[in-house]
Structure 1
Amino acid sequence: MFTESEAGQRIAACLARRVNGSAEVSQVAEAITSMFEDINISLTPIIGPKGIAALHRRSLHLCMSKHPLLGVPYTLLVVGMDIQELRALLAEQSIDDALFFSQEVLNTFYTLLATLIGPLLAARLLLDVWEHSFSGPPAQDTSR
């Protein structure tokens, strides 16, 4: 369905759409939190909450090892899947660092998932997460 680069482009587009051009780091933190909540909803029936938590922790660990300067404040997150803690820590970063780290974590999460279940199934399971970002609020009925 998607190559790794296409998945990365989708992730970047999804994150950008959820950030909605805001220059506020809190919006980036909110975007990644909502994406992981959507990922959790999509994947829990397939790999369970412990599987998702393990992928999340591994993604954070790999990102921290590649980007040690960014990883310093995230060391507490490796213990569990606390996306609210991730949100709080991202909110303390610059907008560029928060965007970069968010995209890296999401790309790594997708790559790990694709390694476990295959890229086609991973893309299909996460399609709702990406599509959710591109669907706006439901159209309102103005005929009244």
Structure 2
Amino acid sequence: MESQESRRIEASLTHSVEKDADTAQIADAMISTWQGINAALCPIIGQRGVDALYLRSLYLIGPAYPWLAGMHEGVHPAMDLVALKSLLAQQSSANALAGGAALLQTFYELLDSLIGPSLTERLLRSVWANSLSGLPAQDTSP
């Protein structure tokens, strides 16, 4: 059974990439979402907290997505969005979208288990709203 948040994440990703998007466009959309998550959560749980949840999410989805498995290891554990973008761009569009969605869903579930569904939804609401609204409207006033 699919959760409401799982559908919201999927809708957010689907909306932020075109129907026939290539892997570069998918990678860009994923990175934009992660940057939004980072911006929303860093003031609350700190960069190290965000990094820890991100790396744990990578570890948990590693068996299902072996191409993401090694990203949680390293001397300086941190959210490496450049490496994630590179890995996503090397996959087929379907794999990039599935792996990226699984990573986001796992991250959301971990955060939810720590701080509860209400606060998790409230903290990440702006991330989903921004990706669903697309690019901000340009100001055409003189």
TM-score over 0.5 for the pair: yes
User: Gapped runs of 5+ residues in structure 2?
Assistant: none
1:76: how far off?
3.1
1:78 aligns with 2:72: yes
Moved over 4 A (4+): none
Q: Does the CA-based 8 Å contact 2:61-2:69 persist in structure 1?
A: no
Structure 1 segment 116-131 matched on structure 2, within 5 A: 116-131=114-129
Matches of 1:134 and 1:74, distance apart in 2: 26
1:138: how far off?
1.5
Number of the residue aligned with 1:133: 131
Number of the residue aligned with 1:114: 112
Matches of 1:108 and 1:75, distance apart in 2: 14
Structure (1 or 2) with the greater helix fraction? 1
User: Gapped runs of 5+ residues in structure 1?
Assistant: none
Structure 1 segment 32-111 matched on structure 2, within 5 A: 32-65=30-63, 67=64, 70-71=65-66, 73-79=67-73, 80=77, 81-111=79-109
TM-score of the aligned structures, taking structure 1 as reference length: 0.88
How many residue pairs end up in the alignment? Answer: 136
1:110: how far off?
0.3
TM-score of the aligned structures, taking structure 2 as reference length: 0.89
% identity of equivalent residues: 41
1:12: how far off?
0.5
Matches of 1:14 and 1:105, distance apart in 2: 14
Matches of 1:74 and 1:116, distance apart in 2: 24
